[in-house]
C-alpha cells in the first residue's frame, strides 16, 4: 500500500519505530511483526511482539513513548491502542481514516 501523504507516512513510521523500541527495551521480544493494511475506509498499522507483555493495571511510567505515539496518531486523525496479547506479548494498533482521493489522484495509475 502506498501512503502518498508524507506527514501521515512519517507519523506512522515513528509510531512503528517507538513500538519496536518498546518491544525490545521493555518487552525483551525475540520476534516483532509489523503489518500495514487497509480497508476501503481505514489504514491500520499493527506491531505485534512476543515479549513479556505489560501490566495493564500498572501506572504509566515517566516515559514519553506511549504519550508521543498517542499524540502522533491524533495529529493524523487516528488512534493508538496498546493491548496485551493472549499468551505472551503486546500488540500496538494505530488506526486512521483513509484520506479522500482527489479526482487528480484517482486518475493516476
Helical residues (DSSP H) of the chain, grouped into ranges: 6-25, 65-75, 103-107
> At which residue does the C-alpha cell 514519553 appear?
64
Residue 34 lies in a domain: yes
Residue 105 lies in a domain: no
Residue 75 lies in a domain: yes
Q: What is the pTM of this model?
A: 0.84
**Number of domains making up the chain:** 1
Residue range(s) defining the domain that contains residue 74 = 6-99
Residue 23 lies in a domain: yes
Residue 1 lies in a domain: no
Express each pLDDT in 45-103 by its tens digit: 999 999 998 766 555 565 788 899 999 999 999 999 999 988 789 999 999 999 776 44
Distance CA 87, CA 17 (A): 24
Q: What is the 3-state secondary structure (H, E, C) of 84-99?
A: ECCCCCEEEEEEEECC
Express each pLDDT in 2-34 by its tens digit: 899 999 999 999 999 999 999 999 899 999 999
Residue 108 lies in a domain: no
Instruction: State the CATH number of the domain containing residue 58.
Output: 3.30.565.10
Residue 104 lies in a domain: no
Amino acid at each position: 500500500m502506498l501512503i502518498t501523504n508524507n506527514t501521515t507516512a512519517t507519523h506512522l513510521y515513528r509510531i512503528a519505530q517507538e513500538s519496536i523500541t518498546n518491544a525490545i527495551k521493555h518487552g525483551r521480544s525475540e520476534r516483532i511483526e509489523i503489518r500495514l493494511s487497509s480497508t476501503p475506509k481505514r489504514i491500520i498499522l499493527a506491531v505485534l511482539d512476543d515479549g513479556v507483555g505489560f501490566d495493564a493495571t500498572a501506572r504509566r511510567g515517566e516515559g514519553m513513548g506511549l504519550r508521543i505515539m498517542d499524540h502522533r496518531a491524533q495529529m493524523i486523525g487516528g488512534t493508538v491502542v496498546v493491548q496485551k496479547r493472549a499468551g505472551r506479548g503486546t500488540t500496538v494498533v494505530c488506526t486512521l481514516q483513509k484520506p479522500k482521493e482527489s479526482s487528480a489522484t484517482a486518475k493516476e495509475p
